Structure formats: structure tokens, C-alpha cells
Amino acid sequence: MKKPAKGPAAVPLAHARGDDAFMAQYPLLSERMYVEAWEDGSARPTDTLFLFTESGRWKCMLKDRHAGMIAFYTAHSIQELFETIEGHLRADAVDWKVDRKPAGRGR
């Protein structure tokens, strides 16, 4: 396998800027996706939210990268999806599952 030629130095990516309206409506979800530091100031990996549709429904996977956990949601509308996630975060009722690596990776 041939090593690729060295390209230009990597440029740090700019962090996504929060959407004020979204952040106001879904503050706990926004905090998980945008806050990059813990209370003590140490670096915090932000959560990732994967959105998709299937059979006329909105679906998502919320990934807590720090804890290595994931949660799945399905709803009839994107608003219902976000409201459900926010409600579960507020009630500390997210049904977290262990995020397992897909078979064949990391070998």
C-alpha cells in the first residue's frame, strides 16, 4: 500500500454556530451539541445527532461521545422528534444503549 503524499497542514475546522431559535426551544439538546467544556473547564466532546427519514417518519440517533452511549428516536415530525428528545433529557429518561463498534472495524 502506497502512502499518500503529504498535503498542506490541516486547518482546524470552525465550530458550528448555534441557531438561537433552536437553542431557545431545545436548550438541553443544544447544550449537549454545542458546549465544548465541562464545568471545570476541561475539554468535552460534544454529542452528535444523526437525522434521517424512513417510511414517512423522522428518525435520529443521539450519540454521547464522552460516555460511549447512543439513543434512538422516531416521530411523525421533526418538531415532535426534538420535543421528545428535549423532554427525555429534562426528565433524565433517555434510554441510552452502549455504542458498539460495527463488526469488522478496529482490527
Domain ranges of the chain: 48-99
pLDDT computed for residue 19 by the predictor = 80
pLDDT computed for residue 63 by the predictor = 97
CB 23 within 8 A of CB 86: no
pLDDT computed for residue 57 by the predictor = 97
pLDDT computed for residue 103 by the predictor = 72
CA dihedral (97, 103, 104, 107) positive or negative: positive
Q: 41's torsion region: left (phi>0), alpha (psi -120 to 50) or beta?
A: left
CA-CA-CA-CA dihedral for 50, 54, 58, 62, to nearest 10: -30
CA dihedral (93, 30, 35, 47) positive or negative: positive
Q: What is the pLDDT along the chain (107 residues), one digit of tens a residue?
A: 454 566 665 555 555 666 889 899 999 999 999 999 888 889 999 999 999 999 999 999 999 999 999 999 999 999 999 999 999 999 999 999 999 877 776 65
